[in-house]
Amino acid sequence: MEVSQIVFSPTGGTQKVADIITAEWEKPVSRIDLTNPKNDYSALNISQDDIAVIAVPSFGGRVPALAAERLGKINGNQARCVIICVYGNRAYEDTLIELYDIAEQSNFKVIAAISAIAEHSIIHQYAAGRPDSMDRDELCGLAEKIYEKIKAADTASTSVLQIPGNRPYKKAGGVGLVPKADKKCNGCGLCAEQCPAEAISRDNLKISDGKKCISCMRCVVNCPQSARKVNGTMVSVAALAIKKACSERKNNELFI
């Protein structure tokens, strides 16, 4: 048995959570990067004997549309699957139930689900530094419980999981924060190379295509010159709007 990580993690927080979970199992791990627009996802088939770990961030309480589209092309071959949604300590709303539906439609057999916390990708003061040591201990404990289920002989007859969320899902929000480059940009092109949505043209690195940009903030976080920014006033307004919801530390959850 091997582990197949299928992860959409533009700024790294979701990947950290997935790595904590799979490291606890001490099994060989292969990675499918859902942020890579060059992958032929329709050609990917997961072995039925493997355990898949599908992890995505919550974007406004939903699975990121690009992640949903790419995941939907992968053939799960009835492989057992753990789904993970990662959020910035506000709320994940319909993300986990939507991810469950996408995984099942892609022929995965979901045996467990996790909601986990990581530093907010835009408003960094919320869940700053998470997953931290407390999260790691908590997630390792959840991973142990999942592995016990994986080893059990009756996983083939697992009942339907009770996962929070609503069907129909909440309406997906629009893109409100589109990064631009300032005068510190030296034209290295890393942002265009790494953009999951291919929203940055090498011919014009200063701006992002507002119709393609998904506000994932990879270009902002990874720019070696710290040249890419979003509108500071809009970030401040957004931070104030969710301050109450983010004020109390939320725990990681397991549904099994």
pTM attached to this predicted model: 0.95
pLDDT tens sequence across 196-207: 999 999 999 988
- The CA-based diameter of the chain, rounded to the nearest angstrom, is 60
Q: Which domains does the chain have, with CATH numbers?
A: 3-168 (3.40.50.360), 180-230 (3.30.70.20)
CA distances to 4, 64, 124, 243 from 11, in Å: 20, 13, 12, 22
CA distance 49 to 60: 34
Is 170 within 8 Å of 93 (Cβ atoms)?
yes
Is 192 within 8 Å of 200 (Cβ atoms)?
yes
In DSSP notation, 110-138 reads EEEEEEEE---SSSTTTTTT-S-HHHHHH
Q: What is the pLDDT of residue 229?
A: 93
Q: Minimal CA–CA distance to 79: which of 45, 102, 32? A: 45
Q: What is the pLDDT of residue 153?
A: 61
Q: What is the pLDDT of residue 32?
A: 98
228-229 and 180-181 strand pairing: antiparallel
Does position 238 have pLDDT exceeding 80, yes or no?
yes
109-117 and 51-57 strand pairing: unpaired
Q: 240 by DSSP, 3-state: which? A: helix
- Residues in contact with 84: Cβ distance below 8 Å, sequence separation at least 6, in sequence order: 14, 17, 18, 21, 53, 54, 55, 56, 113, 114, 115, 116
CA distance 251 to 38: 35
Q: What is the pLDDT of residue 154?
A: 52
What does the pLDDT average to over 136-144? 98
Q: What is the pLDDT of residue 30?
A: 96
pLDDT tens sequence across 142-194: 999 999 999 886 555 556 799 999 999 999 887 679 999 999 999 999 999 99
pLDDT tens sequence across 31-58: 999 999 999 999 999 999 999 999 999 9
Q: Minimal CA–CA distance to 16: which of 133, 123, 166, 144? A: 133
Q: What is the pLDDT of residue 172?
A: 87
pLDDT tens sequence across 85-124: 999 999 999 999 999 999 999 999 999 999 999 999 999 9
Q: What is the pLDDT of residue 158?
A: 53
Per DSSP, 155 falls in state G
